[in-house]
Amino acid sequence: MSDRDAYTALVCSLPNSERLFIAKKPPLSRLRLDSRLKALTVADAEVLARLEHVLSWNEYAVDITDAVALKRVRDALKVIRQPALRKIVHERMEMRTAMSALRLRRDGLAPPAGAFGFGRWARHIPAHWAESCFGLGAALPWLKEAQRLIESDDPLALERHLLDTSYLMLKRHAARHQFDFEAVAIYVLIWNIFDRWAQSDASAAARRFEFLAHAAMAQLGDIRFEGEPA
């Protein structure tokens, strides 16, 4: 069986993932998912492992340093060569950057000096620190609701909003991929969203949100992605 045929069979074997936040648990266990992922080539399995490692909240220990977090992203991007998956990393890092900035600003901190975080808005955010949504309401439509929820101190609703936003981002990418490795990788990332929501509770969401401002996403230097616009 060719890799293409194997991936077509793999995608067809995965349960539908449309019922986000309605289902009580992910549509299949991680054990069963991992069993099906054995159909991946060695190279693609490595890419998926790096992708999950860099995007999963569970992979960021509380004491991780900014330098370690930044190196993790750069190392992952050396392995992740697929444009769609690199774009997903880019989008998620920009989301985490904006959320860290909101948290720090709510705590009364002054704007960071120089670039802040990852991606396109690393210099824009400090320069527009006092503006609502850092002047990014049109570019990042989800940020207005995130700002409202952080100001109303509702971490569980905020987590749900961010998971929902991440889900919709992934579904847009999924629409361009059906029976290839990217489709499989996106499915796994969506599965992780299901799993995160299934484990969510208010106190845990508050702890994760507090962590945003003090760990991997805060005060990292600007990062550009090879082959992508500055």
Q: Do 155 and 209 form a contact (C-beta atoms < 8 A)?
A: yes
**DSSP class of 131:** S
- Over residues 108-138, the pLDDT tens digits come to 999 988 888 888 999 999 999 999 999 999 9
**Residue 28: what pLDDT?**
86
Note whether 156 and 200 are within 8 A (CB): yes
Q: Quick one: average pLDDT of 132-159? A: 94
Contact present, 76 and 57 (Cβ < 8 Å): no
Mean pLDDT within 62-87? 82
| 63-91 average pLDDT score | 84
Q: Rounded to an integer, what distance in angstroms lies between the CA atom of residue 91 and that of residue 181?
A: 19
The DSSP code for 229 is -
3-state secondary structure of 117: coil
Q: Is residue 191 a contact partner of residue 23, using CB atoms and an 8 Å limit? A: no
**Residue 173 is encoded by which pair of tokens?**
């990418």
State the virtual CA torsion across 176, 179, 181, 184 in degrees, nearest 10: 90
Q: Would you tell me how many other CB atoms lie within 10 Å of the CB of residue 99?
A: 22
pLDDT tens per residue across span 11-53: 999 887 666 566 667 778 899 999 999 999 999 999 999 999 8
Find where tokens 């986000």 sit: 20
| Extents of the domains making up the chain | 3-11+27-212
Amino acid at 186: I
Q: Is residue 223 over pLDDT 50?
A: no
